[in-house]
């Protein structure tokens, strides 16, 4: 079983209008509420791949009820902790350019944190927990890291999608896969890359620090997967990128979903690249037919 974690989900209030006149009364052409959250995005792709999963996190208030309604509508199995504060609302304003106003998130009490930690008691050997997304401001900055000993003690694997020191602090617990893009990878080591060889050497340093597998996304240049035995390169699919939101989540979902079904790392990488591209080519999270259309474009080559 795969468990996705979104500790600070949101209802995205998407407003579309021709133009915005600051200080004036404006009328929108269209508006909608959409359930958002990186772990929820992962669950959506896993559903498209036919992989059993459960979404965990915190929800509360009337906004939380609407988020759960939409999650249920998408046939995502969830087991959220209900909190006394309300799930946040993020505003996405489309008026020529896109402007985002993201709320910080709700207050989560110690009792509610303990209720979430109780969810981990169901973990068994072979399960995978995907930890991704921002933390609510009331959670400790090392919240994800605090969960890792329990996850590993159960014999489960984990995937973490974060950056910087927060990522480095988890590597000793041996995440199944991490997915920095090439810019984030350079920032981890306070450097710049003059060649792909330098980038691959940096990825191998993350293996030395504990990561089991490292995927490096490079937008139009494709991506790399570095494992304990080999390095692979995949080309980028051809298409018009219209959406960057959720592409990285989709890439992780493709990798992890294929891992529990097949376990072949090159196939996991190929599906991850296909899912990421399919989402980038659509305005929402990709569906199976879109993933299937992109998959034949992806070629994975072992380079070492």
Number of domains in the chain: 2
Q: Which of 101, 134, 161 represents a domain boundary (last residue)? A: 161
Question: What per-residue confidence (pLDDT) applies to 124?
Answer: 97
CA separation, residue 35 to residues 157, 212, 259, 272, 303 (Å): 27, 32, 27, 23, 40
CA distance 272 to 295: 9
Question: What per-residue confidence (pLDDT) applies to 139?
Answer: 95
Is residue 145 located within the same domain as residue 173? no
Q: Do the Cβ atoms of 176 and 259 come closer than 8 Å?
A: yes
Is residue 183 located within the same domain as residue 74? no
| Strand ranges across the sheet with 81-82 | 81-82, 53-59, 2-6, 128-132, 157-161
Is residue 10 located within the same domain as residue 150? yes
pTM for the structure as a whole: 0.93
pLDDT tens digit sequence for 67-120: 999 999 999 999 999 999 999 999 989 888 888 899 999 999 999 999 999 999
Domain holding 263: CATH number?
A: 3.40.1190.20
User: Which residues have C-beta within 8 Å of that of residue 153, sequence separation ≥ 6?
Assistant: none
Task: Provide the residue range defining the domain that includes 221.
Answer: 163-304
Is residue 51 located within the same domain as residue 93? yes
Q: Which of 130, 161, 192 represents a domain boundary (last residue)? A: 161
Question: What per-residue confidence (pLDDT) applies to 242?
Answer: 82
Give the pLDDT band of residue 29 (cuts 50, 70, 90): confident
Is residue 146 located within the same domain as residue 7? yes
Mean pLDDT of 260-281: 95
Share of the chain above pLDDT 90, in %: 86
Q: Do the Cβ atoms of 42 and 18 come closer than 8 Å?
A: no
Q: Of 17, 98, 7, 9, whose CA–CA distance to 283 is shortest?
A: 98
Is 284 assigned a catalytic role? no
Per annotation, catalytic residue among 249, 264, 284, 292: 249
Is residue 197 located within the same domain as residue 292? yes
pLDDT tens digit sequence for 176-223: 999 999 999 999 999 999 999 999 999 999 999 999 999 999 988 899
In sequence order, what E strands does 80-173 have?
Answer: 81-82, 88-95, 97-101, 128-132, 157-161
Is residue 197 located within the same domain as residue 153? no
Q: Do the Cβ atoms of 278 and 286 come closer than 8 Å?
A: yes
């Amino acid at each position: 079983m795969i468990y996705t974690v979104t500790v600070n989900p949101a209802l995205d209030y998407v407003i579309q209008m021709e133009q915005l006149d600051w200080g004036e009364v404006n009328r929108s052409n269209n508006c909608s509420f959409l359930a958002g959250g990186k772990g929820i995005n992962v669950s959506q792709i896993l559903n498209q791949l036919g992989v059993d999963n459960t979404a965990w996190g915190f929800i509360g208030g009337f906004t939380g009820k609407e988020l759960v309604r939409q999650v249920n509508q998408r046939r995502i199995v969830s087991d959220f902790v209900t909190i006394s504060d309300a799930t946040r609302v993020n505003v996405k304003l489309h008026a020529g350019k896109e402007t985002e106003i993201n709320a910080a998130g709700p207050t989560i009490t110690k009792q509610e944190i303990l209720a979430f930690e109780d969810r981990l008691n169901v973990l068994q050997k072979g399960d995978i927990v995907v930890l991704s997304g921002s933390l609510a401001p009331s959670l400790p900055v090392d919240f994800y890291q605090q969960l890792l000993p329990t996850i590993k003690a159960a014999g489960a694997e984990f995937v973490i999608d974060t950056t910087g020191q927060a990522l480095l602090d988890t590597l000793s617990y041996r995440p199944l896969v991490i997915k920095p893009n090439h810019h984030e990878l350079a920032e981890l080591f306070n450097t710049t890359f003059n060649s792909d060889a330098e980038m691959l050497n940096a990825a191998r340093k993350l293996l030395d620090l504990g990561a089991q597998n490292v995927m490096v996304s490079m937008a139009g240049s494709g991506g790399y997967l570095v494992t304990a035995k080999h390095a692979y390169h995949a080309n980028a699919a051809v298409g018009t990128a219209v959406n960057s939101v959720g592409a990285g989540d989709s890439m992780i979902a493709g990798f992890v979903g294929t891992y529990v079904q097949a376990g072949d790392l090159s196939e996991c990488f190929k599906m991850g690249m296909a899912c990421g591209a399919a989402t980038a080519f659509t305005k929402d999270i990709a569906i199976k037919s879109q993933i299937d259309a992109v998959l034949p474009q992806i070629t994975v080559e072992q380079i070492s």
